Structure 1
């Protein structure tokens, strides 16, 4: 199965955010290249919020270009088997943490946001991952910093998208 086909199946199976989910599906139907950065109308991205083993903190990255605290994530690559693999790869690369595990249940939420030209939109499929007990993070080339934040600190440093992802993740965790 192709990454495109996986994305369509994942989105069709995602039960929340019905209007936005349909926008994603419409975008992919209109753009067979909609998984790739080269699609200037917008493209699907995959991200993951890293949760610490005690489940009371999240690891955010200070994005080098945007200069914003965000979850780990980015563009899909041809070697990605599926959206989950893309999100896990991005989280591992950007956090420096090996042994991350996806939170069960598929995507936590969707977030479509404008990006600077030449592209127009990121259609982000957002997951959550749990860090192993011995997690040691590192700053990647794409980051200025990587830092743990308590749940109650996130709204002070991150934008509404990250806050909504954290809220949805906490609901999934029952926290």
Structure 2
């Protein structure tokens, strides 16, 4: 019942390429098959929400240096039962960055990515079906550091692509450049 809005958003999403199309289709299939897809207790994988935060001129992107993963990433995290993945992305972005003036660039999904999370402790390797939204923030607003992150900073789009060293960020950068 609660899965319908996400399924509607996923079906309305226009993937950037065949790779993102395959991940969008995999996410739709996963959500249709697993009523508990928003719970991290589903150990094969679960839906997560992420936030790509850009400056008002779309020239910079905010990244966090994740403490556990020791990597520069966009803010985001587990839905923990909340089927409103856009709200999850916003909540996680606010919690991890301390920013309060985030605005949705669009109510539509910005990107979809499915990636493997390595085993850690008693949690086996699993998939994150990451639904991503684009936000705009005032670059002058002060950060508030979360215990989950080591650092936070604004990067140019090219720097962000370099620091993340992730093929998905090249796709993200291209999508943001297209909005300029």
**Counterpart for residue 58 of structure 2:** 55
**How far is the alpha carbon of 1:126 from its aligned partner?**
1.1
List alignment gaps of at least 5 residues for structure 1: none
1:25-64 CA-to-partner distances (Å, cap 9, x unmatched) read 1111221111121111111111011112232111100001
2:167 paired with 1:164: no
1:107 and 1:12 mapped to 2: Cα distance?
Answer: 10
Aligned residues: 171
Which of 155, 159, 171 matches 2:161? 155
- With normalisation by structure 1, the TM-score equals 0.89
Superposed CA offset, 1:108-149 (max 9, x none) = 111110012324100101111000364222221110100111
In the alignment, structure 2 segments of 5+ residues that lack a partner are: none
Matched, 1:35 2:38: yes
Q: Output the aligned Cα RMSD.
A: 1.8
* TM-score between both structures, scaled by the size of structure 2: 0.86
Pairwise CA distance, 1:105: 4.9
Give yes or no for contact 1:61–1:146 (8 Å, CA) kept in 2. yes
* Structure 1 segments of 4+ aligned residues over 3 angstroms from their partners: none
Matches within 5 A, 1:75-114: 75-78=78-81, 80=82, 82-114=84-116
Deviation for aligned residue 1:89: 0.9
CA distance in 2, matches of 1:162, 1:139: 23
Residue 139 of structure 1, aligned match among 140, 145, 149: 145
1:121 partnered with 2:127: yes
Q: Give, in whole Å, the separation in 2 of the partners of 1:39 and 1:81.
A: 14
Q: Equivalents in 1 of 2:37, 2:56: separation in Å?
A: 35
